[in-house]
C-alpha cells in the first residue's frame, strides 16, 4: 500500500543515490516507519528534508463539498489528480529501502518485507501539502501514491506504492505527467519479516 516502510541507508548513501549534496539532518537507520512519523523526502528543490507521512486535509473538501476528515497516508494514482481533496498539492519523492505488508487473519497475520533485489533504495512517488495549525505552526506533509500491484506483490497486497525510475524523477518533481505504473516484476523480492521488532522505531 505501503503500510510501513524502512530506511536503513546512511544519509551520505541516500544523497549519492539521489545525486544531491548531503544535508545536515538528524538521520538514523529506521526499520519501522509508520504513518504519522517523519520521513526523508526529496522535494522539487532537489534537496533532502523531512516531512510528516500523512496529510491532514484541513480546509480540503471532497467532490460533494464535504470536509475531508481522515488523515491521508496513501493516494490512488488513478484518481489523485482528479479529486478536489488534492487540488494544488505539490510533489516529492520518498527514498526507502523497502516496505512491509501483512497477510492472514487478525492476530494471525504474517508480516512480509518487500525490497529491491539488489538491496538498494527505491523512490516512492508522493504528493505534498503544508498544514497550518494554531499559533502559526506549519507542518510539511506527504502522502505516498499507490497503483495496482505487479506480479511480485499481487499475492501479498492489492496495491503497491508507485516506484519511480530515476529517469522520471525530474518530470515528476516538476509537476509533469508521468506514467504511474507498477514496478517491473524483476525489481523486487518478498521475504518474511519475522525479525522486526514492531514496537521499536
- pLDDT tens profile 90-105: 999 999 999 999 998 8
Residue 28 is predicted with a pLDDT of: 93
Asked if 71 and 56 count as a contact pair (C-beta separation under 8 A), the reply is yes
Compute the distance between CA of residue 163 and CA of residue 69 in angstroms, rounded to an integer. Answer: 28
Predicted local distance difference test score (pLDDT) of residue 108: 83
177 backbone φψ class: left, alpha, beta (φ>0; ψ -120 to 50): beta
Residue partners of 13: CB distance under 8 A and separation at least 6: 121
pLDDT at position 71 is 83
Whether 83 shows a pLDDT value over 90: the answer reads no
Indicate the fold that domain 4-192 takes in CATH: hypothetical protein yedk fold (3.90.1680)
- Structure confidence at residue 61 (pLDDT): 62
Residues 129, 17, 34: CA angle, nearest 5 degrees: 45
Extract the C-alpha cell encoding 164: 519511480
Alpha carbon distances (Å) from 187 to 40, 151, 191: 22, 11, 14
Tell me what pLDDT residue 81 has: 87
- C-alpha 85/C-alpha 62 separation (Å) is 5
* pLDDT tens figures, 19-41: 999 999 999 999 999 999 999 99
| Average pLDDT of the residues of the chain | 90
Distant-in-sequence, close-in-space partners of 180: CB < 8 Å, separation ≥ 6: 77, 125, 145, 147, 162
pTM, full prediction: 0.91
User: In terms of pLDDT, which residue wins out, 149 or 82?
Assistant: 149
Amino acid at each position: 500500500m505501503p503500510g510501513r516502510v524502512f530506511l536503513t541507508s546512511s544519509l551520505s548513501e541516500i544523497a549519492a543515490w539521489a545525486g544531491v549534496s548531503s544535508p545536515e539532518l538528524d538521520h538514523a537507520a529506521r526499520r519501522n516507519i509508520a504513518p504519522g512519523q517523519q520521513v526523508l523526502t526529496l522535494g522539487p528543490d532537489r534537496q533532502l528534508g523531512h516531512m510528516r507521512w500523512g496529510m491532514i486535509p484541513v480546509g480540503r473538501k471532497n467532490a460533494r463539498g464535504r470536509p475531508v476528515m481522515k488523515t491521508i497516508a496513501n493516494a490512488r494514482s488513478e484518481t489523485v489528480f482528479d479529486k478536489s481533496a488534492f487540488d494544488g498539492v505539490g510533489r516529492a519523492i520518498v527514498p526507502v529501502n523497502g516496505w512491509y505488508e501483512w497477510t492472514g487473519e487478525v492476530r494471525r497475520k504474517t508480516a512480509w518485507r518487500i525490497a529491491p533485489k539488489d538491496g538498494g533504495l527505491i523512490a516512492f512517488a508522493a504528493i505534498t501539502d503544508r498544514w497550518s495549525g494554531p499559533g502559526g505552526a506549519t507542518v510539511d506533509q506527504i502522502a505516498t501514491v499507490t497503483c495496482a500491484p505487479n506480479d511480485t506483490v499481487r499475492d501479498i497486497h492489492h496495491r503497491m506504492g508507485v516506484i519511480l525510475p530515476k529517469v522520471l524523477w525530474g518530470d515528476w518533481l516538476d509537476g509533469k505527467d508521468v506514467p504511474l505504473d507498477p514496478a517491473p516484476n524483476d525489481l523486487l523480492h518478498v521475504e518474511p519479516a519475522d525479525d522486526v521488532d514492531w514496537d521499536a522505531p
